[in-house]
Amino acid sequence: MINQINLNKFDDIYDKTYNDVLKFVICKCSNIEDVNDIIQETYVEVYKKILKNIDINNINSFVIGIAKNKIKKHYGLLYKFKTISIFSEKDDLSVLDKIPDDTNIEEIIINTTDIESIWNYLKHKKIEIQKIFYLYYNLDITIKEISKYLDLSESYVKTNLYRTLKELQEFLGRSC
């Protein structure tokens, strides 16, 4: 009976916090491939805290705090240095002008047979570009929200998204 109560409490916390914790972890990780491990470690720790009957006032802050500690532990002392933005403010916006307004970007690149190739291609891009793609395509977060989460300008996020999409079109052998 106690185990079922603990499992129900865990399920409730998981359901209420997962999206926010996932966004936080994605934004703070230095490698997209680490996200699932850190999320898993975070929720294992949450379950351990539930078993110890720790009183939780603000569930979101509590779980994000655990995630923050897991990220720090995962990356060690280099954690802060790896999450500092290294973007240049001088981006070539001309690539945006070359994409026709009626272009359906998702239709161009999303094909189930190409998804693995796309993510393998993205692994060789800067971590910020990986984060932009993950947030935009996996979590359906808007460009405006991504810029807020990653502390980047909207134009920078949009430019990198569309520039990389253009590169992916070429990589996959497709034209605009």
126 plus 71 within the same structural domain:
no
User: CA 162 to CA 91: how far, in whole Å?
Assistant: 12
Residue 137: the pLDDT is: 80
Residue 18: the pLDDT is: 93
121 plus 63 within the same structural domain:
no
**Treating both helix axes as pointing N-terminal to C-terminal, what angle do 35-51 and 59-75 enclose, rounded to 10 degrees?**
130
71 plus 98 within the same structural domain:
no
Residue 155: the pLDDT is: 92
CA angle 164, 31, 25 (to 5 degrees): 105
Q: What residue numbers bound the domain in which 114 lies?
A: 94-171
106 plus 150 within the same structural domain:
yes
Residue 104: the pLDDT is: 53
CA dihedral of residues 118, 123, 127, 133 (deg, nearest 10)? 10
User: CA 112 to CA 109: how far, in whole Å?
Assistant: 9
176 in a structural domain? no
Q: What is the pLDDT along the chain (176 residues), one digit of tens a residue?
A: 668 888 888 899 999 999 999 989 988 887 888 889 999 999 999 998 888 887 777 888 889 989 988 888 877 644 444 444 434 444 444 444 555 555 555 554 444 456 677 778 888 888 888 888 888 887 888 899 999 989 999 999 999 988 988 888 787 775 44
Select from 145, 144, 133, 146 the least CA-distant residue to 106: 133
The domain boundary residue, chosen from 17, 50, 82: 82
77 plus 98 within the same structural domain:
no
Select from 126, 124, 146, 122 the least CA-distant residue to 135: 146
100 plus 164 within the same structural domain:
yes
CATH number at residue 67: 1.10.1740
Model confidence, pTM = 0.58
Q: What is the DSSP string of 39-66?
A: HHHHHHHHHHHHHTT---SSHHHHHHHH
User: CA 63 to CA 108: how far, in whole Å?
Assistant: 38
